[in-house]
Structure 1
């Protein structure tokens, strides 16, 4: 029995890797999506709107299966049309990271967009009046304040993203949920293994909450008193 628990712990390391890399993808897509929605250019606004509307309206499981199975079929069909005899199998780890990142990039887009809109526009206009470029204004004026406004929504998205990593077990990635299912099938004691897996997820989310709350407190320094005036 102990060997099964050890394998689940090893799978937990893979779960952490998937969630952190997916978060990186989601943050990049979220920043690009927010920039597109706030650009004022109809084409970019339209693309970002379709992205956030469709992805937030389709279940994560469906998107995961479409990317993994549909992507494999589509790539192999394309190679066949090009006359190639080679076949491509999408790596489950890459598929899991990119799909979860792509899904939660839509949620991060709305989080970052709302955070940027919460910053008084006059601050950016003042920076431009002082000769700052758009990139410099974003790095020095917008980004530090955006982090403070975005952290509550970012925290919620991150916690849901962590739990969504369990979906990658359905495409064969041997993270802790997959290994818990294998162990429960072999020993016919699902309760103990899934309870152990749930405890690992709880530890992961609890540590994340502690870290993000400290980060929120850090970025909120000097703001509460000003809000009371």
Structure 2
């Protein structure tokens, strides 16, 4: 995807094709083509450079942690966020992968919170730490956005799309693998041989001496150890 972005940018600016006219132009029939094309179109080098690293990091995280739905999030995210931008956007060409970036940020954040799995929640808070300031760019105030050319409508569309996907797309239940019996929910300490060696105060009680053994529960006691000796005669000359 990054290769396509840079390839289109190189061709567009090398041959002066002005491909930005194929971006999203709200509420016009011809502007619908931008729903598909706009994520691959960028205005200048600074525009595409600022989108490259977040797109790489977030797409990698999406595919690694949410592989089952990653393709749906990418494809449907481009289409739905583009359609919302086409509906609510200003009468101008809207281009760039920023909408998709907001889809990924929103989806990873809200989905991680919904799973309540500590690794995915940590991923959510990492995304907030890295890209939390992006929330200000979904508002139309020029003094916050900084430049009137920034498509806050596309950012808002991406944020809403990611939230909807996080609520709708099903992902596997992430639970830790149970390695020991005591980790199971139905574990009963009173039936465990090791736990029986503790008294009411929680102190460990040593097993009685062999001559004092009183077999009450065979489960607690192990089989007696049998030793077998083999004698081997040494017939060496120096022995």
TM-score range, shorter chain: under 0.3
Q: Between Structure 1 and Structure 2, whose CA radius of gyration is higher?
A: 2
TM-score by length of structure 2 reads 0.23
